[in-house]
Amino acid sequence: MMATATMAMSITTTATTMTTTTTLWIMQFYNELKEKTLPNYYKVVATSFAASIGIFAWVAAIGFLTFGASANGLILNNYSTKDSLMGFSRIAVAISLVFSYPLSFVGARDGIIDLAKLKATPKTENAITLGVLGLVTVGSLLIPDVSFVLALAGATLGNALIYVFPALMFRGAIKQKGADATSRQKKEVKFALLSAVAGIAMGILGATKAIQGLGN
């Protein structure tokens, strides 16, 4: 029972980070609305997330019901290389990665430049691009199991983005208000910090399970 609960929590932690990656384009999506109002934005976000969750759950269920515990981290690896339909699927995945990866990578590169307080010149951007891509390439050669990468990223970066960073940002905003902060807002800070602690706990659990499963 404990093992099942632990695995379920680990899977949940990994899945949540996949939708969190959309935070890179929050303002872009809002600015592209025809009528820029929060109610319209809420509708777009709710509809998009519901559709995304439904598709991910459906695909995951099909993969698990087909292969059970033998399901590979990259489900296409469970199919024969002689399967022509799966061959087209592999090509489709490759095309998707080629055209979607740069969108996420630009956000990561810009974040590194901001944290390092560097001037965003073409020379700096190119150097960071080559350096990060080199590290990612080496990592992909040393760690061929994509499920480990997803699980570890979800347990660490995903949890930080979902639970820890928002709580700390809210705490900082209320602290800056000082005496202007209401008693309700001060109470909300405690709940936010409690959420951060829960996120850290789930992150440790998820990272531990990911590392333990690396050798299996």
Q: Are residues 3 and 66 in the same domain?
A: yes
Say what the pTM is.
0.56
Q: What angle do CA 161, 180, 170 make, to 5 degrees?
A: 5
Which pLDDT belongs to residue 93?
86
Q: Per-residue pLDDT for 60 more than 60?
A: yes
Q: Which of 120, 143, 166 is the last residue of a domain?
A: 143
Q: Are residues 134 and 89 in the same domain?
A: yes
Q: Are residues 138 and 149 in the same domain?
A: no
Q: Per-residue pLDDT for 198 more than 80?
A: yes
Q: Per-residue pLDDT for 55 more than 80?
A: yes
Report pLDDT digits (tens) over 133-182: 899 889 888 887 777 887 888 888 888 888 898 899 989 988 898 888 88
Q: Per-residue pLDDT for 10 more than 60?
A: no
Q: Are residues 125 and 160 in the same domain?
A: no
Q: Are residues 67 and 172 in the same domain?
A: yes
> Among residues 107, 101, 17, which one has the least CA distance to residue 56?
17
Q: Are residues 35 and 23 in the same domain?
A: yes
Q: Are residues 6 and 51 in the same domain?
A: yes
Range of the domain at 122: 79-143
Q: Are residues 101 and 182 in the same domain?
A: no
Determine if residue 68 is left, alpha or beta; phi over 0 gives left, psi from -120 to 50 gives alpha, anything else beta: left
Which pLDDT belongs to residue 128?
92
What average pLDDT does this structure show over 185-198?
90
Q: Per-residue pLDDT for 118 more than 50?
A: yes
> Among residues 155, 134, 203, 133, which one has the least CA distance to residue 18?
155
Which pLDDT belongs to residue 215?
60
Q: Per-residue pLDDT for 185 more than 60?
A: yes
Q: Are residues 93 and 118 in the same domain?
A: yes
Q: Which of 143, 175, 195 is the last residue of a domain?
A: 143
Q: Which of 116, 143, 170 is the last residue of a domain?
A: 143
Q: Are residues 67 and 151 in the same domain?
A: yes
The tally of domains found in the chain comes to: 2
Q: Are residues 12 and 95 in the same domain?
A: no
Q: 149 and 143 in contact (C-beta within 8 Å)?
A: yes
Q: Per-residue pLDDT for 6 more than 90?
A: no
Q: Are residues 134 and 149 in the same domain?
A: no
> Among residues 144, 159, 151, 154, which one has the least CA distance to residue 212?
151
